[in-house]
Chain A
Amino acid sequence: MTLAPASTAATRSIRERLLRRGQGRSAADRAILILHDVTKTYPNGKTALRDVDLVIPEGDFVFLVGPSGAGKSTIIKLLIRDEVATSGQVVLDGLDLAKLPRRAVPKVRRKIGIVFQDFKLLPTKSVWENVAFALEVTGSPRRKIRPAVDRVLALVGLTAQRAQIPSQLSGGEQQRTAIARALVHDPRLIIADEPTGNLDPLISWEIIQLLLRINELGVTVMMATHDADVVTALRKRVVALEEGRVIRDEVGGAYHRAD
Protein backbone atom coordinates (compact mmCIF):
# COMPACT_ATOMS: atom_id res chain seq x y z
CA MET A 1 0.00 0.00 0.00
CA THR A 2 1.29 3.41 -0.89
CA LEU A 3 0.14 6.73 0.47
CA ALA A 4 -0.50 9.16 -2.34
CA PRO A 5 1.54 12.35 -2.59
CA ALA A 6 0.45 15.03 -0.16
CA SER A 7 -1.38 17.19 -2.67
CA THR A 8 -4.27 14.89 -3.66
CA ALA A 9 -7.76 15.73 -2.49
CA ALA A 10 -8.22 12.34 -0.82
CA THR A 11 -5.17 12.66 1.39
CA ARG A 12 -6.11 16.21 2.21
CA SER A 13 -9.53 15.21 3.44
CA ILE A 14 -8.16 12.32 5.52
CA ARG A 15 -5.54 14.61 6.96
CA GLU A 16 -8.05 17.28 7.82
CA ARG A 17 -10.36 14.79 9.46
CA LEU A 18 -7.48 13.48 11.53
CA LEU A 19 -6.48 17.04 12.35
CA ARG A 20 -9.94 17.77 13.69
CA ARG A 21 -10.03 14.54 15.65
CA GLY A 22 -6.68 15.30 17.13
CA GLN A 23 -7.86 18.69 18.31
CA GLY A 24 -11.08 17.20 19.66
CA ARG A 25 -9.01 14.57 21.48
CA SER A 26 -11.81 12.02 21.16
CA ALA A 27 -11.13 9.28 18.66
CA ALA A 28 -9.17 6.26 19.78
CA ASP A 29 -7.40 5.95 16.43
CA ARG A 30 -6.35 9.60 16.32
CA ALA A 31 -3.02 10.81 15.07
CA ILE A 32 -0.29 11.33 17.62
CA LEU A 33 1.43 13.77 15.29
CA ILE A 34 0.28 15.96 12.44
CA LEU A 35 2.46 18.30 10.40
CA HIS A 36 0.23 20.46 8.25
CA ASP A 37 1.85 22.51 5.46
CA VAL A 38 4.85 23.15 7.69
CA THR A 39 7.54 25.49 6.47
CA LYS A 40 10.53 26.39 8.60
CA THR A 41 12.88 29.19 7.67
CA TYR A 42 15.72 29.90 10.09
CA PRO A 43 16.70 33.48 10.97
CA ASN A 44 19.75 33.14 8.69
CA GLY A 45 17.40 32.76 5.73
CA LYS A 46 17.92 29.04 5.22
CA THR A 47 14.69 27.18 4.58
CA ALA A 48 14.92 23.75 6.20
CA LEU A 49 11.37 22.51 5.58
CA ARG A 50 8.94 23.39 2.78
CA ASP A 51 5.22 22.59 2.91
CA VAL A 52 5.70 19.37 4.82
CA ASP A 53 2.56 17.30 5.42
CA LEU A 54 2.86 14.30 7.64
CA VAL A 55 0.32 12.37 9.68
CA ILE A 56 1.49 9.72 12.10
CA PRO A 57 -1.28 7.66 13.69
CA GLU A 58 -0.89 6.44 17.24
CA GLY A 59 1.04 3.16 17.38
CA ASP A 60 2.82 3.65 14.05
CA PHE A 61 6.47 2.84 13.37
CA VAL A 62 7.97 5.32 10.92
CA PHE A 63 11.41 5.60 9.38
CA LEU A 64 12.52 9.09 8.50
CA VAL A 65 15.19 8.85 5.81
CA GLY A 66 17.08 11.29 3.67
CA PRO A 67 20.54 12.78 3.22
CA SER A 68 22.12 15.08 5.82
CA GLY A 69 20.56 18.52 5.73
CA ALA A 70 17.27 17.20 4.34
CA GLY A 71 15.35 18.48 7.34
CA LYS A 72 15.18 15.48 9.68
CA SER A 73 16.70 17.31 12.64
CA THR A 74 14.47 20.30 12.01
CA ILE A 75 11.39 18.08 12.26
CA ILE A 76 12.70 16.73 15.56
CA LYS A 77 13.37 20.26 16.82
CA LEU A 78 9.83 21.28 15.89
CA LEU A 79 8.41 18.28 17.76
CA ILE A 80 10.19 19.12 21.00
CA ARG A 81 9.36 22.77 20.33
CA ASP A 82 12.96 23.84 20.36
CA GLU A 83 11.91 25.67 17.22
CA VAL A 84 8.53 26.94 16.08
CA ALA A 85 7.31 26.48 12.51
CA THR A 86 7.46 29.62 10.35
CA SER A 87 4.11 28.67 8.86
CA GLY A 88 1.76 25.71 9.06
CA GLN A 89 0.73 23.66 12.06
CA VAL A 90 2.53 21.13 14.22
CA VAL A 91 -0.02 19.22 16.29
CA LEU A 92 1.27 16.76 18.87
CA ASP A 93 -1.30 14.66 20.70
CA GLY A 94 -3.98 17.22 19.87
CA LEU A 95 -1.93 20.25 20.95
CA ASP A 96 -0.94 22.93 18.46
CA LEU A 97 2.67 23.54 19.47
CA ALA A 98 2.77 27.09 18.06
CA LYS A 99 -0.09 28.13 20.34
CA LEU A 100 1.40 26.44 23.35
CA PRO A 101 2.31 28.83 26.16
CA ARG A 102 5.96 28.72 27.16
CA ARG A 103 5.15 27.21 30.54
CA ALA A 104 3.39 24.23 28.99
CA VAL A 105 6.38 23.21 26.85
CA PRO A 106 8.09 20.94 29.44
CA LYS A 107 4.87 18.94 29.94
CA VAL A 108 4.55 18.36 26.20
CA ARG A 109 8.16 17.23 26.04
CA ARG A 110 7.36 14.54 28.60
CA LYS A 111 5.01 12.99 26.03
CA ILE A 112 8.07 12.44 23.84
CA GLY A 113 11.10 10.31 24.55
CA ILE A 114 14.22 11.09 22.56
CA VAL A 115 17.15 8.81 21.78
CA PHE A 116 20.31 10.17 20.18
CA GLN A 117 23.18 8.75 18.20
CA ASP A 118 25.62 9.86 20.92
CA PHE A 119 23.42 8.56 23.78
CA LYS A 120 23.75 11.77 25.85
CA LEU A 121 24.23 9.97 29.15
CA LEU A 122 25.70 11.68 32.20
CA PRO A 123 29.15 10.13 32.63
CA THR A 124 29.31 10.38 36.42
CA LYS A 125 25.94 8.79 37.08
CA SER A 126 25.13 5.09 37.13
CA VAL A 127 22.66 3.50 34.72
CA TRP A 128 19.96 3.63 37.36
CA GLU A 129 20.72 7.29 38.20
CA ASN A 130 20.77 8.30 34.54
CA VAL A 131 17.27 6.92 34.08
CA ALA A 132 16.02 8.28 37.41
CA PHE A 133 17.43 11.70 36.47
CA ALA A 134 14.67 12.18 33.88
CA LEU A 135 12.05 11.74 36.61
CA GLU A 136 13.92 13.72 39.29
CA VAL A 137 14.29 16.83 37.17
CA THR A 138 10.62 16.78 36.26
CA GLY A 139 9.61 16.75 39.91
CA SER A 140 8.40 13.16 40.33
CA PRO A 141 8.11 12.09 43.95
CA ARG A 142 10.81 9.65 45.06
CA ARG A 143 8.40 6.86 45.88
CA LYS A 144 7.29 6.80 42.23
CA ILE A 145 10.80 7.02 40.80
CA ARG A 146 12.10 3.70 42.14
CA PRO A 147 9.42 1.37 40.68
CA ALA A 148 9.32 3.27 37.36
CA VAL A 149 13.08 3.07 36.87
CA ASP A 150 13.20 -0.61 37.87
CA ARG A 151 10.41 -1.35 35.39
CA VAL A 152 12.06 0.28 32.34
CA LEU A 153 15.47 -1.17 33.19
CA ALA A 154 13.85 -4.62 33.18
CA LEU A 155 12.20 -3.79 29.85
CA VAL A 156 15.51 -2.92 28.17
CA GLY A 157 17.33 -5.75 29.94
CA LEU A 158 19.75 -3.73 32.05
CA THR A 159 18.69 -4.72 35.55
CA ALA A 160 22.06 -6.40 36.13
CA GLN A 161 24.02 -3.34 35.00
CA ARG A 162 22.03 -0.84 37.04
CA ALA A 163 24.99 0.22 39.23
CA GLN A 164 27.54 0.65 36.42
CA ILE A 165 28.50 3.99 34.94
CA PRO A 166 28.34 4.58 31.16
CA SER A 167 32.08 4.13 30.55
CA GLN A 168 31.81 0.57 31.92
CA LEU A 169 29.09 -0.30 29.39
CA SER A 170 29.20 -1.39 25.74
CA GLY A 171 27.77 0.97 23.10
CA GLY A 172 24.62 -1.12 22.84
CA GLU A 173 24.13 -1.06 26.60
CA GLN A 174 24.62 2.70 26.64
CA GLN A 175 21.99 3.12 23.96
CA ARG A 176 19.63 0.83 25.88
CA THR A 177 20.17 3.03 28.92
CA ALA A 178 19.22 6.05 26.81
CA ILE A 179 16.12 4.21 25.56
CA ALA A 180 15.18 3.36 29.14
CA ARG A 181 15.52 7.03 30.05
CA ALA A 182 13.34 8.00 27.08
CA LEU A 183 10.70 5.49 28.20
CA VAL A 184 10.57 6.27 31.88
CA HIS A 185 8.02 9.07 31.42
CA ASP A 186 5.62 6.69 29.63
CA PRO A 187 5.85 8.79 26.47
CA ARG A 188 3.34 8.60 23.62
CA LEU A 189 6.07 8.98 21.01
CA ILE A 190 9.68 7.85 20.88
CA ILE A 191 11.93 9.82 18.55
CA ALA A 192 15.16 8.03 17.75
CA ASP A 193 17.70 10.21 15.94
CA GLU A 194 20.21 7.87 14.27
CA PRO A 195 20.12 5.55 17.28
CA THR A 196 22.35 2.97 15.58
CA GLY A 197 24.78 5.41 14.01
CA ASN A 198 27.58 4.59 16.47
CA LEU A 199 26.93 0.87 16.76
CA ASP A 200 28.09 -2.17 14.84
CA PRO A 201 25.45 -4.04 12.78
CA LEU A 202 24.79 -6.82 15.29
CA ILE A 203 24.25 -4.39 18.16
CA SER A 204 22.21 -2.19 15.83
CA TRP A 205 19.79 -5.05 15.31
CA GLU A 206 19.48 -5.47 19.05
CA ILE A 207 18.50 -1.82 19.37
CA ILE A 208 16.02 -2.10 16.48
CA GLN A 209 14.46 -5.18 18.08
CA LEU A 210 14.08 -3.25 21.30
CA LEU A 211 12.40 -0.33 19.51
CA LEU A 212 10.06 -2.76 17.75
CA ARG A 213 9.13 -4.32 21.07
CA ILE A 214 8.43 -0.88 22.54
CA ASN A 215 6.29 -0.15 19.48
CA GLU A 216 4.34 -3.37 20.10
CA LEU A 217 3.57 -2.06 23.58
CA GLY A 218 1.67 0.77 21.87
CA VAL A 219 4.28 3.55 21.80
CA THR A 220 4.60 5.34 18.47
CA VAL A 221 8.20 5.25 17.19
CA MET A 222 9.75 7.65 14.73
CA MET A 223 13.28 6.77 13.79
CA ALA A 224 15.58 8.92 11.68
CA THR A 225 18.26 6.78 10.10
CA HIS A 226 20.79 6.27 7.35
CA ASP A 227 20.81 2.52 7.85
CA ALA A 228 19.47 1.24 4.50
CA ASP A 229 19.66 -2.44 5.49
CA VAL A 230 17.45 -1.95 8.52
CA VAL A 231 14.87 0.12 6.68
CA THR A 232 14.67 -2.18 3.71
CA ALA A 233 14.50 -5.34 5.81
CA LEU A 234 11.70 -4.20 8.09
CA ARG A 235 9.26 -2.93 5.46
CA LYS A 236 7.73 -0.36 7.78
CA ARG A 237 6.41 3.04 6.77
CA VAL A 238 9.16 5.17 5.21
CA VAL A 239 9.06 8.94 4.92
CA ALA A 240 11.85 10.28 2.72
CA LEU A 241 12.94 13.90 2.96
CA GLU A 242 15.03 15.82 0.48
CA GLU A 243 15.83 19.51 0.59
CA GLY A 244 13.09 20.11 3.10
CA ARG A 245 10.31 18.33 1.20
CA VAL A 246 8.65 14.97 1.68
CA ILE A 247 9.51 13.21 -1.57
CA ARG A 248 8.15 9.80 -0.62
CA ASP A 249 5.81 8.44 2.02
CA GLU A 250 5.04 4.76 1.67
CA VAL A 251 4.10 1.92 3.95
CA GLY A 252 6.25 -1.17 3.51
CA GLY A 253 8.88 0.83 1.66
CA ALA A 254 12.57 0.25 1.22
CA TYR A 255 15.35 2.73 2.02
CA HIS A 256 15.71 3.64 -1.64
CA ARG A 257 12.85 4.33 -3.98
CA ALA A 258 11.81 1.16 -5.78
CA ASP A 259 12.09 2.09 -9.45
Chain B
Amino acid sequence: MIGFVVFSLRRAWQGFWRNALMSLAATATMVLMLLLLAGFWIIQTGLLSALDFTESKVQVQVNMNVDTSPEAITALGETIKALPGVAGVTLVTREEALARFQQNMKDLGREDLSKYLDKNPFPASYEIKLTDPSYAAPVAAALQPNLNPAVHNVLDTKETAKNVKTVTDIMRTAGSVILVVIGVIVLFIIINTIRLAVVARSEEIEIMRLVGASDAFIRWPFVFEGAMVGLLGAAITLGGLALLADPIGGFMVDFFRVLPLSFGSLARDLVLIVTSAGLGLGVLGSWLSVRTYLIR
Protein backbone atom coordinates (compact mmCIF):
# COMPACT_ATOMS: atom_id res chain seq x y z
CA MET B 1 0.00 0.00 0.00
CA ILE B 2 2.76 2.43 0.99
CA GLY B 3 4.69 1.18 -2.03
CA PHE B 4 1.70 1.98 -4.20
CA VAL B 5 1.38 5.52 -2.85
CA VAL B 6 5.11 6.16 -3.21
CA PHE B 7 4.99 4.75 -6.75
CA SER B 8 2.00 6.92 -7.69
CA LEU B 9 3.49 10.09 -6.21
CA ARG B 10 6.83 9.49 -7.88
CA ARG B 11 5.16 8.85 -11.22
CA ALA B 12 2.96 11.94 -10.79
CA TRP B 13 6.04 14.05 -10.11
CA GLN B 14 7.89 12.60 -13.11
CA GLY B 15 4.81 12.99 -15.29
CA PHE B 16 4.42 16.62 -14.30
CA TRP B 17 7.99 17.56 -15.22
CA ARG B 18 8.43 15.26 -18.22
CA ASN B 19 5.66 17.15 -19.96
CA ALA B 20 6.43 20.47 -18.30
CA LEU B 21 4.90 22.67 -21.00
CA MET B 22 1.59 20.82 -20.92
CA SER B 23 1.58 20.84 -17.12
CA LEU B 24 2.25 24.56 -17.04
CA ALA B 25 -0.55 25.14 -19.56
CA ALA B 26 -2.93 23.19 -17.31
CA THR B 27 -1.71 25.13 -14.28
CA ALA B 28 -2.14 28.47 -16.07
CA THR B 29 -5.69 27.51 -17.04
CA MET B 30 -6.32 26.50 -13.47
CA VAL B 31 -5.01 29.86 -12.19
CA LEU B 32 -7.22 31.80 -14.61
CA MET B 33 -10.28 29.81 -13.61
CA LEU B 34 -9.56 30.13 -9.91
CA LEU B 35 -9.03 33.89 -10.30
CA LEU B 36 -12.41 34.08 -12.03
CA LEU B 37 -13.95 32.11 -9.21
CA ALA B 38 -12.24 34.20 -6.53
CA GLY B 39 -13.15 37.47 -8.28
CA PHE B 40 -16.74 36.46 -8.47
CA TRP B 41 -16.71 35.40 -4.84
CA ILE B 42 -15.28 38.78 -3.77
CA ILE B 43 -17.93 40.69 -5.72
CA GLN B 44 -20.67 38.44 -4.41
CA THR B 45 -19.49 38.90 -0.83
CA GLY B 46 -19.38 42.67 -1.29
CA LEU B 47 -22.85 42.84 -2.78
CA LEU B 48 -24.34 40.63 -0.12
CA SER B 49 -22.86 42.64 2.71
CA ALA B 50 -24.13 45.78 1.00
CA LEU B 51 -27.57 44.23 0.97
CA ASP B 52 -27.26 43.13 4.58
CA PHE B 53 -26.38 46.68 5.44
CA THR B 54 -29.40 48.01 3.59
CA GLU B 55 -31.56 45.42 5.25
CA SER B 56 -30.36 46.54 8.67
CA LYS B 57 -31.43 50.09 7.73
CA VAL B 58 -35.05 49.10 7.50
CA GLN B 59 -36.74 50.47 10.53
CA VAL B 60 -39.98 51.85 11.79
CA GLN B 61 -40.38 55.50 12.70
CA VAL B 62 -43.13 56.54 15.10
CA ASN B 63 -44.02 60.26 15.21
CA MET B 64 -45.70 61.40 18.38
CA ASN B 65 -48.17 64.21 18.84
CA VAL B 66 -46.46 67.52 19.48
CA ASP B 67 -48.14 67.93 22.85
CA THR B 68 -47.21 64.51 24.27
CA SER B 69 -45.97 64.70 27.84
CA PRO B 70 -42.49 63.38 28.71
CA GLU B 71 -44.12 60.64 30.86
CA ALA B 72 -46.23 59.48 27.93
CA ILE B 73 -43.12 59.52 25.72
CA THR B 74 -41.24 57.30 28.19
CA ALA B 75 -44.25 54.99 28.51
CA LEU B 76 -44.49 54.62 24.73
CA GLY B 77 -40.79 53.81 24.65
CA GLU B 78 -41.35 50.98 27.14
CA THR B 79 -44.29 49.68 25.07
CA ILE B 80 -42.14 49.62 21.91
CA LYS B 81 -39.25 47.84 23.64
CA ALA B 82 -41.64 45.10 24.72
CA LEU B 83 -42.72 44.36 21.15
CA PRO B 84 -41.29 41.24 19.49
CA GLY B 85 -38.61 41.83 16.86
CA VAL B 86 -37.44 45.18 18.22
CA ALA B 87 -33.66 45.39 18.37
CA GLY B 88 -33.38 48.92 19.69
CA VAL B 89 -35.23 52.18 20.17
CA THR B 90 -33.84 55.67 19.80
CA LEU B 91 -35.72 58.70 21.00
CA VAL B 92 -35.42 61.78 18.81
CA THR B 93 -36.62 64.74 20.84
CA ARG B 94 -38.32 67.73 19.27
CA GLU B 95 -35.15 69.79 19.69
CA GLU B 96 -33.01 67.08 18.05
CA ALA B 97 -35.47 66.85 15.16
CA LEU B 98 -35.23 70.60 14.60
CA ALA B 99 -31.43 70.52 14.83
CA ARG B 100 -31.31 67.67 12.26
CA PHE B 101 -33.52 69.64 9.90
CA GLN B 102 -31.32 72.70 10.22
CA GLN B 103 -28.18 70.65 9.66
CA ASN B 104 -29.74 69.01 6.62
CA MET B 105 -30.65 72.33 5.08
CA LYS B 106 -27.19 73.68 5.74
CA ASP B 107 -25.60 70.59 4.14
CA LEU B 108 -27.79 71.02 1.11
CA GLY B 109 -26.89 74.74 0.96
CA ARG B 110 -30.47 75.90 1.28
CA GLU B 111 -31.89 78.63 3.36
CA ASP B 112 -32.88 77.59 6.89
CA LEU B 113 -36.63 78.11 6.75
CA SER B 114 -37.05 77.27 10.42
CA LYS B 115 -35.94 80.73 11.44
CA TYR B 116 -39.25 82.09 10.11
CA LEU B 117 -41.15 79.86 12.57
CA ASP B 118 -42.15 81.13 15.95
CA LYS B 119 -42.17 77.67 17.48
CA ASN B 120 -40.66 74.22 16.86
CA PRO B 121 -43.06 72.33 14.55
CA PHE B 122 -41.26 69.00 14.80
CA PRO B 123 -42.73 66.19 16.87
CA ALA B 124 -40.67 63.91 19.00
CA SER B 125 -40.24 60.49 17.43
CA TYR B 126 -38.95 57.01 18.07
CA GLU B 127 -36.69 55.28 15.56
CA ILE B 128 -37.07 51.55 15.97
CA LYS B 129 -34.39 49.11 14.80
CA LEU B 130 -35.68 45.65 13.99
CA THR B 131 -33.95 42.33 14.40
CA ASP B 132 -35.30 41.37 10.98
CA PRO B 133 -37.09 43.39 8.26
CA SER B 134 -40.01 40.99 8.34
CA TYR B 135 -41.02 42.46 11.74
CA ALA B 136 -41.70 45.86 10.17
CA ALA B 137 -45.38 45.13 9.44
CA PRO B 138 -46.45 43.72 12.86
CA VAL B 139 -44.49 46.39 14.78
CA ALA B 140 -46.06 49.17 12.70
CA ALA B 141 -49.52 47.66 13.19
CA ALA B 142 -49.10 47.50 16.99
CA LEU B 143 -48.25 51.22 17.18
CA GLN B 144 -51.13 52.69 15.19
CA PRO B 145 -52.65 55.95 16.65
CA ASN B 146 -55.97 54.28 17.52
CA LEU B 147 -54.10 51.92 19.89
CA ASN B 148 -51.68 54.48 21.34
CA PRO B 149 -53.03 57.99 21.99
CA ALA B 150 -49.52 59.47 22.05
CA VAL B 151 -48.83 58.38 18.47
CA HIS B 152 -49.50 60.79 15.67
CA ASN B 153 -48.56 58.48 12.81
CA VAL B 154 -46.33 55.54 11.93
CA LEU B 155 -44.03 55.96 8.94
CA ASP B 156 -44.89 53.27 6.44
CA THR B 157 -41.75 51.31 5.52
CA LYS B 158 -43.50 48.01 4.85
CA GLU B 159 -43.05 48.29 1.08
CA THR B 160 -39.39 49.27 1.31
CA ALA B 161 -38.75 46.35 3.60
CA LYS B 162 -40.45 43.97 1.22
CA ASN B 163 -38.55 45.28 -1.80
CA VAL B 164 -35.18 45.07 -0.12
CA LYS B 165 -35.92 41.54 0.99
CA THR B 166 -36.92 40.50 -2.55
CA VAL B 167 -33.75 41.99 -4.02
CA THR B 168 -31.61 40.27 -1.39
CA ASP B 169 -33.22 36.91 -2.02
CA ILE B 170 -32.82 37.22 -5.80
CA MET B 171 -29.19 38.25 -5.40
CA ARG B 172 -28.45 35.29 -3.15
CA THR B 173 -30.10 32.75 -5.47
CA ALA B 174 -28.68 34.25 -8.66
CA GLY B 175 -25.24 34.39 -7.05
CA SER B 176 -25.34 30.72 -6.12
CA VAL B 177 -26.54 29.75 -9.61
CA ILE B 178 -23.81 31.78 -11.31
CA LEU B 179 -21.22 30.28 -8.98
CA VAL B 180 -22.35 26.75 -9.90
CA VAL B 181 -22.36 27.58 -13.63
CA ILE B 182 -18.83 29.00 -13.41
CA GLY B 183 -17.78 25.89 -11.50
CA VAL B 184 -19.11 23.59 -14.24
CA ILE B 185 -17.45 25.62 -17.01
CA VAL B 186 -14.18 25.59 -15.11
CA LEU B 187 -14.48 21.82 -14.70
CA PHE B 188 -14.93 21.29 -18.44
CA ILE B 189 -11.96 23.48 -19.33
CA ILE B 190 -9.77 21.77 -16.75
CA ILE B 191 -10.86 18.32 -17.93
CA ASN B 192 -9.95 19.26 -21.47
CA THR B 193 -6.54 20.58 -20.53
CA ILE B 194 -5.72 17.57 -18.38
CA ARG B 195 -7.02 15.28 -21.11
CA LEU B 196 -4.37 16.74 -23.40
CA ALA B 197 -1.71 15.80 -20.87
CA VAL B 198 -3.19 12.30 -20.58
CA VAL B 199 -3.39 11.83 -24.36
CA ALA B 200 0.26 12.87 -24.65
CA ARG B 201 1.06 9.86 -22.47
CA SER B 202 -1.40 7.43 -24.02
CA GLU B 203 1.42 5.18 -25.24
CA GLU B 204 2.63 4.72 -21.70
CA ILE B 205 -0.89 3.99 -20.50
CA GLU B 206 -1.33 1.41 -23.26
CA ILE B 207 1.85 -0.37 -22.21
CA MET B 208 0.70 -0.33 -18.60
CA ARG B 209 -2.57 -1.95 -19.62
CA LEU B 210 -0.85 -4.57 -21.74
CA VAL B 211 1.55 -5.66 -19.02
CA GLY B 212 -1.36 -6.10 -16.63
CA ALA B 213 -1.34 -2.95 -14.51
CA SER B 214 -4.50 -2.65 -12.44
CA ASP B 215 -6.78 0.35 -12.87
CA ALA B 216 -5.49 1.87 -9.65
CA PHE B 217 -1.89 1.87 -10.90
CA ILE B 218 -2.94 3.57 -14.11
CA ARG B 219 -5.33 6.06 -12.53
CA TRP B 220 -3.71 7.32 -9.34
CA PRO B 221 -0.51 8.76 -10.78
CA PHE B 222 -2.69 10.93 -13.01
CA VAL B 223 -5.00 11.82 -10.14
CA PHE B 224 -2.01 12.89 -8.06
CA GLU B 225 -0.68 14.84 -11.02
CA GLY B 226 -4.07 16.57 -11.31
CA ALA B 227 -3.94 17.32 -7.61
CA MET B 228 -0.47 18.82 -8.10
CA VAL B 229 -1.77 21.05 -10.91
CA GLY B 230 -4.72 22.05 -8.72
CA LEU B 231 -2.67 22.84 -5.64
CA LEU B 232 0.02 24.68 -7.59
CA GLY B 233 -2.72 26.67 -9.36
CA ALA B 234 -4.36 27.46 -6.03
CA ALA B 235 -1.03 28.56 -4.52
CA ILE B 236 -0.29 30.87 -7.47
CA THR B 237 -3.84 32.27 -7.36
CA LEU B 238 -3.67 32.93 -3.62
CA GLY B 239 -0.22 34.47 -4.01
CA GLY B 240 -1.60 36.80 -6.69
CA LEU B 241 -4.59 37.68 -4.54
CA ALA B 242 -2.34 38.39 -1.58
CA LEU B 243 -0.32 40.83 -3.70
CA LEU B 244 -3.55 42.44 -4.88
CA ALA B 245 -5.15 42.40 -1.43
CA ASP B 246 -4.37 46.04 -0.58
CA PRO B 247 -5.65 47.60 -3.84
CA ILE B 248 -8.68 45.30 -3.81
CA GLY B 249 -9.43 46.12 -0.19
CA GLY B 250 -9.09 49.85 -0.90
CA PHE B 251 -11.37 49.55 -3.90
CA MET B 252 -13.97 47.64 -1.93
CA VAL B 253 -13.96 50.13 0.93
CA ASP B 254 -14.32 52.95 -1.60
CA PHE B 255 -16.99 51.20 -3.56
CA PHE B 256 -19.14 49.89 -0.77
CA ARG B 257 -18.37 52.74 1.61
CA VAL B 258 -18.96 52.16 5.27
CA LEU B 259 -19.86 48.51 4.99
CA PRO B 260 -19.11 46.33 7.97
CA LEU B 261 -17.01 44.07 5.74
CA SER B 262 -14.79 41.71 7.63
CA PHE B 263 -11.70 41.14 5.51
CA GLY B 264 -10.38 38.49 7.86
CA SER B 265 -13.25 36.13 7.18
CA LEU B 266 -13.26 36.96 3.45
CA ALA B 267 -9.56 36.05 3.21
CA ARG B 268 -10.15 32.83 5.14
CA ASP B 269 -13.09 31.93 2.89
CA LEU B 270 -11.02 32.66 -0.22
CA VAL B 271 -8.13 30.44 0.91
CA LEU B 272 -10.60 27.67 1.63
CA ILE B 273 -12.55 28.05 -1.62
CA VAL B 274 -9.56 28.48 -3.94
CA THR B 275 -7.64 25.58 -2.40
CA SER B 276 -10.55 23.15 -2.35
CA ALA B 277 -11.72 24.21 -5.82
CA GLY B 278 -8.21 23.78 -7.24
CA LEU B 279 -7.70 20.41 -5.59
CA GLY B 280 -11.20 19.19 -6.40
CA LEU B 281 -11.10 20.31 -10.04
CA GLY B 282 -7.64 18.86 -10.58
CA VAL B 283 -8.55 15.50 -9.08
CA LEU B 284 -11.96 15.28 -10.75
CA GLY B 285 -10.50 16.43 -14.07
CA SER B 286 -7.82 13.73 -14.16
CA TRP B 287 -10.20 11.09 -12.81
CA LEU B 288 -12.59 11.69 -15.68
CA SER B 289 -9.84 12.13 -18.30
CA VAL B 290 -8.11 8.86 -17.53
CA ARG B 291 -11.35 6.90 -17.33
CA THR B 292 -11.46 6.22 -21.08
CA TYR B 293 -8.16 4.35 -20.83
CA LEU B 294 -9.24 1.86 -18.19
CA ILE B 295 -10.54 -1.66 -18.67
CA ARG B 296 -13.91 -1.72 -20.36
Please, which residue of chain B has its CB at the minimum distance from the CB of A114? B210
Q: How far is the CB of A92 from chain B (nearest CB, A)?
A: 13
A106 to B207, Cβ gap below 8 A?
no
A185 to B211, Cβ gap below 8 A?
yes
- Answer whether residue A136 sits at the interface, using C-beta atoms and an 8 A cutoff: yes
User: For window 184-225 of chain A, which residues contact chain B by CB distance below 8 Å?
Assistant: 185
Residues of chain A within 8 A of B208, CB atoms compared: 137
A138 to B206, Cβ gap below 8 A?
no
- Answer whether residue B72 sits at the interface, using C-beta atoms and an 8 A cutoff: no
User: For window 274-296 of chain B, which residues contact chain A by CB distance below 8 Å?
Assistant: 295-296
Partner of B4, one of A109, A139, A181: A139
- Answer whether residue A30 sits at the interface, using C-beta atoms and an 8 A cutoff: no
A106 to B3, Cβ gap below 8 A?
no
Measured CA separation A133–B218 after assembly (Å): 12
Measured CA separation A134–B213 after assembly (Å): 8
State whether A120 and B214 are in contact (beta carbons under 8 Å apart), knowing that A106-B295, A136-B7, A137-B208 are contacts in the complex: no
Please, which residue of chain B has its CB at the minimum distance from the CB of A83? B296
Partner of B211, one of A102, A103, A134: A134
B213 to A137, Cβ gap below 8 A?
yes
Q: How far is the CB of B23 from chain A (nearest CB, A)?
A: 15
A122 to B207, Cβ gap below 8 A?
yes
Please, which residue of chain A has its CB at the minimum distance from the CB of B294? A102
Chain A residues bordering chain B, tally (CB within 8 A): 26
- Answer whether residue B203 sits at the interface, using C-beta atoms and an 8 A cutoff: yes
Q: How far is the CB of A86 from chain B (nearest CB, A)?
A: 15
Residues of chain A within 8 A of B215, CB atoms compared: 106
- Answer whether residue B112 sits at the interface, using C-beta atoms and an 8 A cutoff: no
Residues of chain A within 8 A of B169, CB atoms compared: none
Please, which residue of chain B has its CB at the minimum distance from the CB of A122? B204
Q: How far is the CB of A258 from chain B (nearest CB, A)?
A: 35
Q: How far is the CB of A186 from chain B (nearest CB, A)?
A: 12
Please, which residue of chain B has its CB at the minimum distance from the CB of A187? B212
Measured CA separation A16–B192 after assembly (Å): 50
Residues of chain A within 8 A of B213, CB atoms compared: 106, 137-138
B3 to A120, Cβ gap below 8 A?
no
B212 to A110, Cβ gap below 8 A?
yes
Partner of B210, one of A109, A124, A139, A141: A109
- Answer whether residue B110 sits at the interface, using C-beta atoms and an 8 A cutoff: no
Please, which residue of chain B has its CB at the minimum distance from the CB of A111? B212
Please, which residue of chain A has its CB at the minimum distance from the CB of B295? A105
Measured CA separation A181–B7 after assembly (Å): 19
State whether A133 and B207 are in contact (beta carbons under 8 Å apart), knowing that A124-B18, A139-B4 are contacts in the complex: yes
Q: How far is the CB of B292 from chain A (nearest CB, A)?
A: 13
- Answer whether residue A107 sits at the interface, using C-beta atoms and an 8 A cutoff: yes
Residues of chain B within 8 A of A110, CB atoms compared: 211-212
State whether A120 and B207 are in contact (beta carbons under 8 Å apart), knowing that A136-B7, A139-B4 are contacts in the complex: yes
Residues of A bordering B, CB below 8 Å: 80-82, 102-103, 105-110, 112, 114, 120, 122, 124, 133-134, 136-139, 141-142, 181, 185
**Ranked 7 nearest A-B pairs via Cβ:** A109-B212, A110-B212, A137-B213, A134-B211, A106-B214, A106-B212, A137-B208
Known contacts A137-B217, A139-B3, then 5 further A-B pairs from the complex at CB < 8 Å, ordered by chain A residue:
A102-B295, A106-B214, A114-B210, A137-B211, A138-B214
Can you show 28 pairs from A to B with CB atoms below 8 A apart? A80-B210, A81-B295, A102-B295, A103-B214, A105-B295, A106-B212, A106-B213, A106-B214, A106-B215, A107-B212, A112-B212, A120-B203, A120-B207, A122-B203, A122-B204, A133-B211, A134-B211, A137-B213, A137-B217, A137-B218, A138-B213, A138-B214, A139-B3, A139-B7, A139-B214, A142-B3, A185-B211, A185-B212
Residues of B bordering A, CB below 8 Å: 3-4, 7, 18, 203-204, 206-215, 217-218, 295-296
